[in-house]
Chains A and B, each alone.
Chain A
C-alpha cells in the first residue's frame, strides 16, 4: 500500500574502509500511504560501526578492556544519543554524517546534536586510523607528501607527538590535508572539534581524551602517543584517505544532488 523510496546516495562513509564488511548504514526511507491511513514516518538511524579488527587485536598496545569500554560503551552511547536527537528533529533529516557534522557545528555556535554526531564520526575515524601491526612508516605518496610538507618523517612524528603532549584537557590530534593551502599539517583540537568544520580533510587521528588511554597508560600521555605512532597507526588507511582527499582538493568535491 505504499512505495518505499530508498535513498542510496548517502555515501557509505567518509573514509575508505579496508574491510568493507561493516553493517551498512540504513537507507533513509519514507512510506507513502494512500487512503486515510496516517503515514508513519520512518527515519533512518545510525548504527554502531564495529572497528575493522577484533577488540583484543590491538593488544598489548591498547587493551581489550579499553576497547570494550571506549567502543562498546562510550562510542555506543554517542550513537544512541545521536539517534535520540534524530528522532526528535525533522530538520536533521537527510544529511550524511559528514554534512551533519558541518551543519550542526553551525559556524561555532553548535546545535545540541553536534557533540553526539561529531563524536560518532570521530570515533569511527579513530578506530579505522589504527590497525593491528600498525606503525612503521608510510610509503609512496603519503611519505612523499609528508616529507614535502614537514621536511622529514621524523619531524612530522615529533610535531604530532608534541601536539599530543601539549593538548590541555580533552581533544584530538590530527594529520590533516589543508584544502586551501594544499598541504598536510598537524592540528590539535579541543573536546570534539573536528577539522571538517574548517573544511579541511582529516587523514589520521589520535584520541587524546583521557578515556582513550587511562586504563592502559594512566597519566603517561607520552608513552601512549609514541605507542600509537610506532605500533598502531594505520598508514594503509591514511593512504586511501589521502587518495580521496587529493581528488577532492584537486578536482573539487562532487555535488551529488539528493533526490
Chain B
C-alpha cells in the first residue's frame, strides 16, 4: 500500500470525516459521547441522522489502519485460529469467504470478520436458548459507512473496499488488492487482542443480564406477596 495512498486515504479522506464530524456535533448532545455511542445513536435503527456517515467512517478508518501492520499477513494462532477453524472449517475456507465478501460488495463498503454473541438486537426479541455455540465468528460485508457495531457485533478485522482505498495502487483490480491485504498486511496480533476484548465484553454483558433478570424476579415475587384479591360474596377464580 503506497505512501501516496496513505497520504490521500488517511491525510485527506479520513481527516475530512473527522473534521466534518466535529463540525456536525459541536454543541449538540452527541458532543460528549464516545464515538461508538455516536455511531449507534445516529444510525437510528437504519434511519440515519446526518452525523452517522462521518462518525462511522471515522471509526471505520481508525479500525482499518490498526488492522494492518508492516510485515503483516501469514496466519493467526492460538484461540483465534481455533475459533476460525471451528466456525469456518479451516483457515483457507475462512480466507475464501472473506475475500469473496470483499470482492462482491457492490459499490462502496467494507468487509468484516466479526464476533457475534448470542444476542438479538431487536427490542422485544429474546434468544430462547442461548448457548455457547451461538457465539461465533462471522464474515459480513456492509455498504458505504455501515459497520457491524450497529448490529451489535464485535468487529475484529476489516478491509476497506471503497475504491479510494485501492485505486491508486491497483486501479480496478480489487481481488488483487484483497489478496495482497491478506497476504502481506493483516495484523493478526491486533485481531487476536480484539477477540479477547470481545469475548470479555460478551461474558460481562451476560453476567449483567443474569443479575438484572434476578433482580426483576425478586421484585415480581415481592409484588405477588402484596397482591390482595378483594372478593365479593362470590369467589372469583382467576
Name A residues whose Cβ lies closer than 8 Å to a Cβ of B. Answer: 69-70, 73-74, 77, 115, 168-171, 190-192, 209-211, 214-215, 218-219
Contact = CB atoms under 8 A, between A and B. Distances in A.
B163 A209 contact: yes
Interface stretch (B91-99, B165-173, B184-192, B229-237): B165-173
Contacts of A115: 106
Contacts of B164: 210, 214, 218-219
B144 interface: yes
Contacts of A168: 53, 144-145
B8 A210 contact: no
Interface in B137-171: 143-145, 162-164, 167-168, 171
Contact of B167 (A171, A192, A215): A215
18 contacts: A77-B172, A168-B145, A169-B109, A170-B108, A171-B107, A191-B107, A191-B143, A192-B106, A209-B107, A209-B163, A210-B108, A211-B167, A211-B172, A214-B167, A215-B171, A218-B168, A219-B8, A219-B12
Q: How large is the interface on B (under 10, 10 to 19, 20 to 34, 35 or more residues)?
A: 10 to 19
Contacts of A218: 8, 12, 164, 168
B107 A169 contact: yes
Given A209-B163, A210-B163, A214-B167, A74 B106 contact: no
Contacts of B53: 168
B68 to A, nearest CB: 20
B199 interface: no
Interface of B: 8, 12-13, 16, 53, 106-109, 143-145, 162-164, 167-168, 171-172
A214 B163 contact: yes
Nearest to A74: B172
Nearest to A68: B171
Given A209-B163, A214-B163, A219 B172 contact: no
Contacts of A69: 171-172
Nearest to A65: B171
Given A169-B108, A210-B108, A210-B162, 17 more contacts: A69-B171, A69-B172, A70-B172, A168-B145, A169-B109, A169-B143, A170-B107, A190-B107, A191-B106, A192-B107, A209-B163, A210-B163, A210-B167, A211-B163, A214-B167, A214-B168, A219-B16
Contacts of A214: 163-164, 167-168
B107 A73 contact: no
A104 to B, nearest CB: 14
B189 to A, nearest CB: 31
A74 B108 CA distance: 15
A10 to B, nearest CB: 27
A72 to B, nearest CB: 10
A128 to B, nearest CB: 21
Nearest to B57: A168
Contacts of A73: 171-172
A192 B108 CA distance: 11
B52 to A, nearest CB: 10
Nearest to A73: B172
Contacts of B171: 69, 73, 215
Nearest to B53: A168
A169 B163 contact: no
A179 B143 CA distance: 31
Contacts of A191: 106-107, 143
Nearest to B143: A169
Nearest to B167: A214
Residue with the greatest number of chain B CB neighbours at <10 A, chosen from A77, A168, A190, A192: A168
A141 to B, nearest CB: 35
Nearest to A69: B171
Nearest to B48: A168
In the A-B complex, the 9 residue pairs with the smallest Cβ-Cβ separation, listed nearest first, are A210-B163, A191-B107, A169-B144, A170-B107, A169-B108, A214-B167, A170-B108, A69-B171, A211-B163
Nearest to A77: B172
B13 A219 contact: yes
Nearest to B13: A219
Contacts of B144: 168-169
Nearest to B165: A210
Nearest to A70: B172
